[in-house]
Amino acid sequence: MADPRARLLALDGLDPLIERGRLQWRALAEAPPGADLVLLGLVDGVPHFVAVPDRAGNAATGRPPHIFGLLAQLPRDEMALYGAARAMVEWHGRHRFCPACAGTTSAFKGGWGRQCGGCGAQHFPRTDPVVIMLAEHDGAVLLGRGLGWPEGRYSALAGFVEPGESIEEAVARELLEESGVRAFDVRYVASQPWPFPSQLMIGCHCISEGRALDIDTSELADLIWATRDEVVAALAGDADARFIAPPPFAIARDLLEWWVAG
Amino acid sequence: MADPRARLLALDGLDPLIERGRLQWRALAEAPPGADLVLLGLVDGVPHFVAVPDRAGNAATGRPPHIFGLLAQLPRDEMALYGAARAMVEWHGRHRFCPACAGTTSAFKGGWGRQCGGCGAQHFPRTDPVVIMLAEHDGAVLLGRGLGWPEGRYSALAGFVEPGESIEEAVARELLEESGVRAFDVRYVASQPWPFPSQLMIGCHCISEGRALDIDTSELADLIWATRDEVVAALAGDADARFIAPPPFAIARDLLEWWVAG
Binary contact (B101, A98; C-beta < 8 A): no
Residue A27 sits in the same domain as residue A143? no
Residue B82 sits in the same domain as residue B133? no
CATH code of B176's domain? 3.90.79.10
Residue B104 lies in a domain: no
The SS3 of residue A84 is: helix
Say how far apart CA A216 and CA A235 lie, in whole Å.
Answer: 26
B146-166 b/e (C-beta count within 10 Å ≥ 16 → b): eeeeeeebbbbbbbbbbbbbb
For chain A, how many structural domains are there in total? 3
Binary contact (B162, A127; C-beta < 8 A): yes
Give me the total of CB pairs closer than 8 Å, taking one residue from chain A and one from chain B: 127
Residue A115 sits in the same domain as residue A152? no
ipTM value, please give it.
0.94
Contact, B55 vs B35, CB < 8 A? Answer: no
With CA atoms as reference, the chain B residue closest to A251 would be B166
Chosen for mutation from B89, B166, B201 (greatest number of chain A CBs closer than 10 Å) is B166
Residue A202 sits in the same domain as residue A146? yes
Binary contact (B167, A91; C-beta < 8 A): no
- Chain A contacts of B93, Cβ < 8 Å? 100
Residue B85 sits in the same domain as residue B135? no
With CA atoms as reference, the chain B residue closest to A119 would be B58
Binary contact (B102, A97; C-beta < 8 A): yes
Contact, A157 vs A179, CB < 8 A? Answer: yes
Residue by residue, what is the 3-state secondary structure of chain B? CCCCCCEEECEECCEECEECCEECEEEHHHCCCCCCEEEEEEECCEEEEEECCCCHHHCCCCCCCCHHHHHCCCCHHHHHHHHHHHHHHHHHHCCCECCCCCCEEEEEHHHCEEEECCCCCEECCCCEEEEEEEEEECCEEEEEEECCCCCCECECEEEECCCCCCHHHHHHHHHHHHHCCCEEEEEEEEEEEECCCCEEEEEEEEEECCCCCCCCCCCEEEEEEEEHHHHHHHHCCCCCCCCECCCCCCHHHHHHHHHHCC
Angle at A62 between CA A141 and CA B117, to 5 degrees: 120
Say how far apart CA A172 and CA A183 lie, in whole Å.
Answer: 6
H/E element, A192: strand A183-194
Contact, B11 vs B17, CB < 8 A? Answer: yes
Residue A171 lies in a domain: yes
What pLDDT is attached to residue B55? 65
The residue from B47, B73, B94 where one domain ends is B94
Chosen for mutation from A23, A161, A168, A188 (greatest number of chain B CBs closer than 10 Å) is A188
Q: Pick from A203, A208, A13: which is nearest to B188 by CA?
A: A203
Say how far apart CA B170 and CA B67 lie, in whole Å.
Answer: 29
Residue B46 sits in the same domain as residue B152? no
**Which residue in A93, A96, A164 is closest to B193 by CB distance?**
A164
Binary contact (B129, A84; C-beta < 8 A): no
- Chain A contacts of B128, Cβ < 8 Å? 126-127
Going residue by residue through chain A, which has 262 residues, state the pLDDT in tens, using 9 for 90 and above.
Answer: 999 999 999 999 889 999 999 999 999 999 999 999 999 999 999 999 999 987 644 455 677 778 888 888 999 889 999 999 999 999 999 999 999 999 999 999 999 999 999 999 999 999 999 999 999 999 999 999 999 999 999 999 999 999 999 999 999 999 999 999 999 999 999 999 999 999 999 999 999 999 999 999 999 999 999 999 999 999 999 999 999 999 888 999 999 999 999 9
Residue A199 sits in the same domain as residue A85? no
**Which residue in B124, B191, B198 is closest to A166 by CB distance?**
B191
Residue A239 lies in a domain: yes
Binary contact (B166, A97; C-beta < 8 A): no
The SS3 of residue A141 is: strand
- Chain B contacts of A193, Cβ < 8 Å? 163-166
Binary contact (B96, A97; C-beta < 8 A): no
Going residue by residue through chain B, which has 262 residues, state the pLDDT in tens, using 9 for 90 and above.
Answer: 999 999 999 999 889 999 999 999 999 999 999 999 999 999 999 999 999 987 644 455 677 778 888 888 999 889 999 999 999 999 999 999 999 999 999 999 999 999 999 999 999 999 999 999 999 999 999 999 999 999 999 999 999 999 999 999 999 999 999 999 999 999 999 999 999 999 999 999 999 999 999 999 999 999 999 999 999 999 999 999 999 999 888 999 999 999 999 9
Residue B132 sits in the same domain as residue B83? no
Residue B123 lies in a domain: no
Residue B57 lies in a domain: yes
Residue B226 lies in a domain: yes
Residue A178 sits in the same domain as residue A255? yes
Contacts of B251 (CB under 8 A, 6+ apart): B132, B190, B191, B192, B194, B201, B203
What pLDDT is attached to residue B169? 96
Residue A231 domain boundaries: 128-260
Say how far apart CA A7 and CA A26 lie, in whole Å.
Answer: 6
- Chain B contacts of A81, Cβ < 8 Å? 164
Chosen for mutation from A82, A105, A160, A166 (greatest number of chain B CBs closer than 10 Å) is A166
What pLDDT is attached to residue A67? 85
Residue A132 sits in the same domain as residue A232? yes
Residue A41 sits in the same domain as residue A113? no
H/E element, A167: helix A167-179
Residue A1 lies in a domain: no
The residue from B72, B94, B116 where one domain ends is B94
Residue A186 lies in a domain: yes
- Chain B contacts of A97, Cβ < 8 Å? 97-102
The residue from A94, A112, A142 where one domain ends is A94
Give the CA count within 13 Å in the CB-facing half-sphere of A131: 27
Residue A149 sits in the same domain as residue A202? yes
**Which residue in A84, A97, A200 is closest to B97 by CB distance?**
A97
